[in-house]
Structure 1
Amino acid sequence: MSDQHTDVQAFFAARAADWDSRFPDDGPAYAAAVAELGLRRGDAVLDAGCGTGRALPALRDAVGPSGTVVGLDLTAAMLAQAVRAGRDRSGVLLLGDVGRLPLRDGAVDAVFGAGLVSHLARPAEDLRELARVVRPGGRLALFHPIGRAALAARHGRQLTGDDLRAEPRLRPLLAGSGWRMVAYEDVDARFLVLADRMD
């Protein structure tokens, strides 16, 4: 396991117990972002870096009882909180690494990733691995319930151009990893990027 993985696990393990209570009003933003994935009844979807599973109920609603919802996270403590919140009823929870997904090629129709990009150990390789498990033409949503500038301000930082989520950096990163960006939105209320899996 890389130092980046260890750092991410430590960061989220320390915050897992009160994660949902720190951000109690994000539910509608998650549901709105999930709606933009364009999921259909019976689809299969992966919530990559699912954390406490806040997107899982909306994902389940979108794919219906015949669909498949998989939530994967690197941090056991976050998955434990998902279970405590009852979100394991909305999908299968897996402890694992986005860089080595336990899914076959083309297994899912879409991937949802909330707060994911800035925590990837190897962004290009990890996004390529996500592309591997999505069928050609399938969709990726990279989401955060607050925009880049508002998030930087919240943490007392300046927004810089080397942020991986900045459009001039993210668009070529996605393109080199098997994705074609189709939408980029970065406003105070949310960050949402949609990309389609290239054939």
Structure 2
Amino acid sequence: MRHEHAHGDSAAEVRDFFTPRAADWDSRFPDDGPAYAAAVADLGLRPGDTVLDAGCGRGRALPALREAVGPEGTVLGVDLTPAMLEAAVRAGRAGSAALALADVARLPLRDGCLDAVFAAGLISHLAEPGAGLREMARVARPGGRLALFHPVGRAALAARHGRPITPGDLRAEPRLRPLLARSGWRLESYTDEDTCFLALSVRTDAQDPWG
């Protein structure tokens, strides 16, 4: 999911927002490709890894994820909006990944099966961000990595929509770091520049961090 608006969207609200925008999403942001590729590189994937693109939308990151894990690796893409997945198929990106209609808060994956999770523009669309992050921690192995990404930084994104950054922004480091920690992730690096927002975290251990 590739757009920033109000926190705490319901599943229906997310689908209602993205469905009419699915067809032309890439053309709205044609210069974002290099930022996606750089973020995938920073995720540190290795050949043979299994990676999930959570909220994959039209699949902008899928070719870069496939290149990183190689033909022996596994790339999964899930999204809540059927029109976005259909647009990913039309864009020719289904060959890079196995795509599924699924809610990030209830992933159809077994515990600890992933080496990494890539999530672009996702956290602000989660009705319960902590629950979503915990679910992504559940399916990641200990030491697995999480990239929370957006192709523009918080200030540039706010300016794009004609509003200031709000103190309640979940992606502000003082809010994001403890939220990740409570959800089974340790924030290792944080970048918030005009050309990129990228928070890289590591799955802390094999135990349920909330149980």
TM-score (norm 1): 0.98
Which residue in 1 is equivalent to 2:139? Answer: 133
Cross-structure match for 2:153: 147
| Counterpart for residue 5 of structure 2 | none
Cα RMSD after superposing both structures: 0.9
Offset, 1:5? 1.0
- Where does residue 40 of structure 2 map in the other structure? 34
Out of 102, 106, 117, the position equivalent to 2:112 is 106
CA offsets 1:98-137 (integer angstroms, 9 cap, x no match): 0000000011100000001111111001100000000000
How many residues get paired? 198
Give the unaligned 5+ runs of structure 1.
none
Deviation track 1:112-166 (CA, whole Å, cap 9, x = no partner) reads 0000111111100110000000000000000000000000010011111110111
Give the ranges of 4+ consecutive aligned residues of structure 1 lying more than 4 Å apart after TM superposition: none
2: CA distance, partners of 1:26 / 1:51: 14
From 96, 100, 113, the equivalent of 1:90 is 96
Amino acid at match of 2:127: A
- Does 2:59 match 1:59? no
TM-score of the superposed pair, with normalisation by structure 2: 0.92
CA distance in 2, matches of 1:100, 1:160: 29
Alpha-carbon spacing, 1:136–1:83, altered in 2? closer, same or farther (3 Å): same
CA distance in 2, matches of 1:51, 1:153: 23
Amino acid aligned to 1:93: L
Cα distance in 1 between the residues matched to 2:139 and 2:151: 25
Percent sequence identity over aligned pairs? 73
Query: By how many angstroms is 1:33 displaced?
Result: 0.1
Shift, 1:43, TM fit: 0.3
Task: Give the deviation of 1:25 after TM superposition.
Answer: 1.3
Equivalent residue number for residue 78 of structure 2: 72
Q: 1:3 deviation in Å?
A: 6.4
CA distance in 1, matches of 2:60, 2:157: 19
CA distance in 2, matches of 1:189, 1:57: 21
For residues 47 and 79 of structure 1, the distance between their equivalents in structure 2, rounded to whole angstroms, comes to 12
Kindly provide the amino acid, as one letter, of the partner of residue 38 in structure 2.
A
Given residue 141 of structure 1, which amino acid in structure 2 is its aligned partner?
Answer: A
Distance 2:113 2:127 in 1: 23
Question: Match for residue 4 of structure 2?
Answer: none
- Note the C-alpha offset of 1:14: 1.5
Alignment partner, residue 164 of structure 1: 170
User: Unaligned stretches of 5+ in structure 2?
Assistant: 1-7, 206-211
CA contact (8 A) 2:118 2:147 kept: yes
Matched, 1:43 2:63: no
Q: Find the partner of 1:191 among 172, 193, 197.
A: 197
